Amino acid sequence: MPQRPNQGRRPGNNSRGRYGPPKRPIKDDEEKAVEVEGEISSVLAGTMFRVKLESGHEVLAHISGKMRKRFIRLVVGDRVKMEMSPYDLTKARIVFRLS
């Protein structure tokens, strides 16, 4: 039986290591999250919050995973730092409690 060429390796798979998905390129400036500050105006169910921005707009925000892991408590009146997607400015992720 003749031996196959490139036995054990597929051509063109040099972008990843032996295991795992291919590596992603670094995000462009356009795709990075927008950081804003606001004040929690109401607490909703399921670790969701209504946050009022300095501009007067209100957004729906949830707690980031690290804040959940560290049991950071948020109450009405707390100032928070959030990350928002440039594509949907009505939702945000709370990443830091300022006060």
Q: What is the pLDDT of residues 11-51, one digit of tens each?
A: 555 555 677 777 776 666 556 889 999 999 999 998 999 99
Q: What is the pLDDT of residues 71-90, one digit of tens each?
A: 999 999 999 999 999 999 99
Q: How far apart are CA 36 and CA 94, in angstroms?
A: 10
Domain boundaries, position 53:
34-97
Query: 52: part of which helix (H) or strand (E)?
Result: strand 48-53
Provide the number of structural domains found in the chain.
1
| Residue 98 structure tokens | 């300022």
What CATH number is attached to the domain comprising 87?
A: 2.40.50.140
- Closest listed residue to residue 68, CA positions, set 97, 89, 92: 97
**Average pLDDT of every residue of the chain:** 85
